Chains A and B, each alone.
Chain A
C-alpha cells in the first residue's frame, strides 16, 4: 500500500485521505497509521501531530526507516510567522511580505524537501495562478485544481506514483521484492565494470530487457548494443552470424559480412540463450573472447572484436558444465562469480498488484488494442479533456466516484487480484502481458456487444470480471456461496483462450477469434443452453436469440457444436 506524507497546515487533507482513500496509508509523526483527528491519543495530550509545517514534516521523515512513496504538499500555509520558512526573514519584513510567505510557503518547503530528500516525489496542491512559479524537477507533480476533492486528489496521487515508477529506472519496475532489490544492487555495481555478465532466469523474466534497457545504457560504453538470440538461428548459419564470413566462403555468401562480434566492437554484445551453443561453437567463442579478435569464415585476417559480453540463459549453466554439455573454461570466461539471477514472477508476488496495473495500462495504450479502445470510446461519451495517457487501474468495485474524469479507468476486483497472486505464472512477464491484453480484449468486446445506449452509464469505465480472470488463468474460479450448481458449471470454463496478437492480423479478426473461443467454452459449460449463456453474458432477462445471432455472426453453427458435444 503506498505510503503518503501529507504536509498541510490544516488537517482536512489528511482527514480526507484517511476517510475516502483507503488505498493509501498516511504516515504521521508518531508512526501510527491514523491521522490525529481520529486517534484516541489525541485527547490524552499527545504532542505528536501530522505534519503542519516544514519542521514537523522533517521530523516525520526522520522517524521513518524508509522514505514514503509520496509527499502531498499544500501551497498556502496559514501558520504563525515563526513557523514559516525561511528561518531568516530579514528579506521578508512587513505584514504583506509575511502574507506572501504564507501564500507560497509550499514552494519553500518543496525546495527544502528537494535538497534533503531528492528521491522523495512530491505532489504540490497548487492553483492555476499565472503568477506562481512552478519549480521543475523529475519528481514534482502539480495538482492544479482550484478546489481539491478526494477523487481528484486520489487520481493525482495515483498518477504521480505511476509516473514515479515509470521514471524510476527506465522501463523497469523494480518493486519491493527482496530478490529484485538484490538484483538491482548487483546491476548497479556490475554495470560500471567491463567484465562479462551472465543472466540466468526462467523464460519471460525479462533478462534481455534488463540487458538492453538497464545494463547497456548504464555501462557508459559508446559503441552499439548488438542483440543475438542464439536459439533462433539455424546451427549451420551460426558461425557466419557470430564471426562473419568472406564472400564466397559458403553458398549464399554473396558479399563480405561482419559477424556480431565485429559489429559490437567497442560496445556490448548480448548473446541470449547461450546454453544452446554446440560444443564446437563454444570452442570458437572461447577463442574470440580470449584473443579479442575474430577471423571471418574463409578469411585469414583477424579483426578486432572486443565487445563487452552479456550472456543470458534459462538453463542452469553450472549444471550443464557438470553434465559435460557446456565447456568449463567458457563458463569461467562468462564470469559466473557475478551471475545475475532474475527472479520468476512467482518469487515477487508482493510486486504483482503493481505489475498487473502496469501491464494493463501498457496493454490499454498499445497499438494492438487501440482500435478496440477507440471503438469503445466512440460509443460512450467522453469529456473533452480525455487523454490516453491519463488512464488508471483501480482495484475495487467499479464506481463512478473512483474513476478518472479525463481518462480510461479499468476496475479490477481485489478477489481477482488475489487469484492472480495465487497463479504460478510459468511464462512470467510474457504471460502477464498476454493476460493483460486478453482481459482487456474480452472486457472491451463484452461491453461493446452488451445492450445499452450511449451515455447510459459513466463513460470510460471498464471492469474486468472475476470469471474472466479465472478463465484466462485456466484456473478453477472461487466457489460462490449460493450458486453451487452454477459454480460447477462455470468451473468447466477453466480453459485457456489463445490470442495471437501479431502484425498483419486485423484487430477485428483477433477480437472475433477471442469471442468465438469464449462462446464455445460457455456453450460447453452450459450444455448448449443458450438462455443460460445469454444470462451469463448479458445479465438476467437477456434473450437467447442475441447469443444465437452473435454465434451466427462469428461463424459458429449450433448444429455443429451440438454434434460435437453429442
Chain B
C-alpha cells in the first residue's frame, strides 16, 4: 500500500470508523458515551506529529502531499468525509439521528477502498 494511503488509514479512517463499526454492530441504542466516541472519531484526531486536528482539516492537509491521483477520486473521498462530518456534527442537538451518522461514517471506509483502488490503477 502506498505510504500516503497507509498514513490516511492510520491517522483518519481507522480512528473515525472504529466507533461507527462498534455502534453499527451493537444490538442496542447508543448512550451518550457511544455518541461522544463517534464524535471524537471525527473531530478529535491527531496528526502525524500527535497534534489535535479534525478529520476535515487532516484530510485537507494530507491532500497537499497526495500522490499523483485524479482529482475526481480525491473529491469523491472529500465529499463522503464532509457528509460524515456534517452528520456527526448534528449529533449533540439530534442524538436520534445516530443511525444516519453511523452510516455516513461507515461510508468513509468504502470511499477509502475506492481511493486505494484508483491509486493502484494510476
Contacts and interface: CB of A to CB of B under 8 A. Distances in A.
A79 B50 contact: yes
Given A19-B33, A127-B1, A76 B18 contact: no
A12 B18 contact: yes
B22 A150 contact: yes
A7 B10 CA distance: 15
B27 to A, nearest CB: 5
B10 A401 contact: no
B37 A99 contact: no
A103 B7 contact: yes
Interface in B1-36: 1, 3, 6-7, 9-11, 13-15, 17-19, 21-22, 25-28, 33
Nearest to A149: B21
A447 interface: no
A63 interface: no
Interface in B79-101: none
Instruction: Decide if the interface of chain B is mainly helix, strand, loop or mixed.
Output: helix
Contact of A76 (B10, B25, B37): B10
Contacts, number: 71
Contacts of B50: 9, 78-80
A78 B18 contact: no
- Interface residue tally on B, bucketed by range: 20 to 34
B46 to A, nearest CB: 6
Interface string A397-439: 0011100000000000000000000000000000000000000
A12 B20 CA distance: 13
A76 B50 CA distance: 13
B1 A131 contact: yes
A147 B3 contact: no
Interface size class of A (residues with CB under 8 A): 20 to 34
A147 B17 contact: yes
Nearest to A402: B27
Contacts of B17: 147, 149
Q: Which of B18, B25, B109 has the most CB of A within 10 A?
A: B18
Contacts of A10: 15, 46
Contacts of B28: 401
A343 B50 CA distance: 52
B122 interface: no
B22 A151 contact: yes
Contact of B9 (A12, A15, A131, A146): A146
Given A19-B33, A147-B18, A100 B3 contact: yes
Interface string A11-35: 0100110011000000000000000
Nearest to B49: A80
Interface of A: 9-10, 12, 15-16, 19-20, 76, 78-80, 96, 99-100, 102-103, 127, 129, 131, 146-151, 399-401
Listed from nearest, the 10 A-B pairs whose CB atoms lie closest are A149-B21, A76-B10, A78-B48, A147-B17, A129-B1, A150-B22, A401-B26, A147-B14, A400-B27, A103-B6
25 contacts: A12-B15, A12-B41, A16-B19, A16-B37, A76-B6, A76-B7, A76-B10, A78-B10, A78-B11, A78-B47, A99-B7, A103-B6, A103-B7, A127-B1, A127-B9, A129-B6, A146-B109, A147-B14, A147-B17, A148-B18, A149-B17, A149-B18, A400-B25, A401-B27, A401-B28
Given A16-B18, A103-B10, A150-B18, 10 more contacts: A12-B15, A78-B11, A78-B47, A80-B49, A103-B7, A146-B9, A147-B18, A147-B109, A149-B22, A151-B25
